[in-house]
Amino acid sequence: MATLSDRLDHILGVKAAGSLVDAFDMHTVEDLLRHYPLRYATQGQPLTEEAPEEGAHITVIGRITKAELRPMRNRRGSLLKVVLDTGSGTGRGVDVTFFNGDKVKYVVREGLRAMMSGTVTYWRPGQWNLSHPGYLILPEAEDDDASVGSLTTVRGGGDLRGLAQSAKGAGGVDTSFMEREFIPVYPATAKVQSWDVLACVRQVLDQLDPIDDPLPEELRAERALLNVSDALRLIHLPERKSDIDQARERLRFDEALALQLVLADRRHEVSGRAARPCPPRIDGIAAEFDTRLPFELTEGQQQVIAEISADLSRSHPMHRLLQGEVGSGKTIVALHAMLQIVDAGQQCALLAPTEVLAAQHYRSLRGMLGDLGSGGELGAAEHATKLVLVTGSMSAATKKAALLDAMTGEAGIVIGTHALIQDNVEFFDLGMVVVDEQHRFGVEQRDALRAKAKSGASPHLLVMTATPIPRTIAMTTLGDLETSTLTQLPRGRSPITSKVVPRRQHPNWVDRAWERILEEVKAGRQAYVVCSRIGDDEEGSGKSRNGKSKAKETEKEGPTTQAVLDVFDMLRAGPLSQVRVGLLHGRLPADEKDQVMRAFNDGSVDVLVCTTVVEVGVDVPNATVMVIVDADRFGVSQLHQLRGRIGRGKDPGLCLLITDAAPGGSAMARLDAVAGTTDGFELAVLDLRTRREGDVLGAAQSGTARSLRLLSLLDDLEVITAAQELARDVVESDPGLKKHPGLAGMMHAAVDAERLEYLAKS
Q: Dump pLDDT digits (tens) for 645-668.
A: 898 888 999 999 999 998 888 889
**If you average pLDDT over every residue of the chain, what do you get?**
83
Q: Which pLDDT band holds residue 638 (cuts at 50, 70, 90)?
A: confident
For domain 40-185, say whether CATH 2.40.50.140 is its number. Answer: yes
pTM: 0.70
DSSP letters spanning 384-397: --EEEEE-TTS-HH
141 pLDDT exceeds 60?
no
**CATH topology agreement for domains 285-486 and 496-677:** yes
Average pLDDT of span 473-499: 75
Q: What is the largest CA-CA distance in the chain?
A: 101
Multiple choice CATH, 285-486, 3.20.20.70, 2.40.160.20, 3.40.50.300, 3.30.70.940: 3.40.50.300
Among the ranges given (212-221, 397-406, 464-473), the one the predictor scored with the smallest mean pLDDT: 464-473
Is residue 323 within 8 Å of 483, Cβ to Cβ? Answer: yes
Q: What three-state secondary structure class fits 531?
A: coil
How many other C-beta atoms can be found within 10 angstroms of the C-beta atom of residue 408?
Answer: 11
pLDDT-derived band at 556, boundaries 50, 70, 90: very low
Look at residue 181 in the predicted model and tell me its pLDDT: 76
* 56-70, 107-121, 257-271, 460-474: range with lowest mean pLDDT: 460-474
Least confident of 26-40, 165-179, 187-201, 237-251: 165-179
Q: Which H helix or E strand runs over 582?
A: strand 581-584
pLDDT band at 594; cut points 50, 70, 90: confident
Strand residue runs (E) in 307-458 = 319-324, 347-351, 386-390, 411-416, 430-436
Residue 553: pLDDT above 60?
A: no
Domain locations in the chain?
A: 1-38+198-234, 40-185, 285-486, 496-677, 716-762
- Residue 613 pLDDT > 80, yes or no? yes
The pLDDT of residue 92 is above 70: no
496-677 to CATH, choices 3.40.50.150, 3.40.50.620, 3.40.50.300, 3.30.1180.20: 3.40.50.300
pLDDT value of position 549: 42
pLDDT, average across residues 170-192: 71
Residue 647 in contact with residue 624, Cβ under 8 Å?
A: yes
